[in-house]
Structure 1
Amino acid sequence: MGTRNAANFEEAGAEIAGGGALADIGVHALDFALYLFDFPKMTDVSGVTRTAFGDRDDYADPDGWCFHRDQTENTFDAKDSATALVRCENGATISPDVSWVTNRETNTGVTVRGTDAGASLALGGDTLSVNETEAGSRDHYADTEYEANDEVSGHRAEDELSLRVVTDGTAPGTNTVEDGLLVQRVLDATYRSAKQGSSVTL
């Protein structure tokens, strides 16, 4: 069984890895999505979590991430992938789909599908693609690409904001404690939904 995006399963038991892929990388995808939607009011969450690869004896790792992995004691019980559907009061939906390992090409993208336009961005990439259509004498696509400013580091901007908040004592306008708690509530609801097999009201 070949796989892509292999993770290091050497110490991936739930006791060590905690919530698995959802808590590891899904929290960042969810936080980013909620930020883009200005932290909307949400109604309910449906989620599924899986242990799809890490506990299999026939797991194949062409990239060599897991060459020390030993399944003789069947220690892998963390959830290596998760999918969720978050419904919002305004009709929008957010659907994080995250995995430590999967049989597809590497994909770290975020896609927004709006009624007036759509957009896509590969996390860590330099290009934001905006997709639109326009009517006229001939209907046509009107796609635009925006390149990142290489002189501005996202991590540096975050560090500078954090230092200003600590120095000035002024609460940030975004990424507040309340925002962080909201992200954690959605994560918790996703796990509960997966466990009980039905949606969870927020």
Structure 2
Amino acid sequence: MTNLIELQHVWKRYDTGGEIVEALKDVDFRADPGEFVAVMGPSGSGKSTMLNVLGLLDTPSEGRVLLEGSDVTDLSDQEMTVQRKQFIGFIFQSFHLIPTLTALENVEVPTLFGNDPAARDRAETLLERVGLGDRLDHRPDQLSGGQKQRVAIARSLINNPRILLADEPTGNLDRKTGRSVLDLFDEIRLEDDVAVIAVTHDPQLAEFADRTVNIIDGRIQ
């Protein structure tokens, strides 16, 4: 079976002004539909760089990135954008909600530059699914941390992605709220056959994952 997303011998180097920093070193990684993978490691270990490469936000210095078996390593910026919109949803630790927009409008944001007449109905359905059907017209400052994260999750699903990439998704939440968000991830990946890849320091998240990948000094252990 073809892996949904795969990194093959990926290296990522940054020139920091005279010094070359190797953020990723010969990384091999894969994820399948419906799989929940936790990526754990200390600060500076390469977790976020790996997430950016998986999300087609950054390109490897060496190695290949495959989406459903197709090599997408050397696509143009425009082609990368198309692939991201089609395949990938992003969830950030700090939510990245627009403060002047309602929950419903925030969920719609990824669809604004296309002609998608069904976007609003889909946004409403997603907010109902994450338990916020009574908060459609609330702005972020009227929502709790857990509710903001649920809006962010609904937004990440608006384009029906195959892959969800989450950066410290429970980092700003208390343990109980974090657990409810992880329950939601579990539901999404099982019902929608979506791969969930979450970078985290939170050992609670590892309890929910099918497997945990540890990265230290840019290398998967």
Task: Give the TM-score taking structure 2 as reference length.
Answer: 0.24
Where is the helix percentage greater, Structure 1 or Structure 2? 2
Structure (1 or 2) with the larger CA radius of gyration: 1
Higher relative contact order (CA 8 A, sep 6+): 2
Task: Give the TM-score taking structure 1 as reference length.
Answer: 0.25
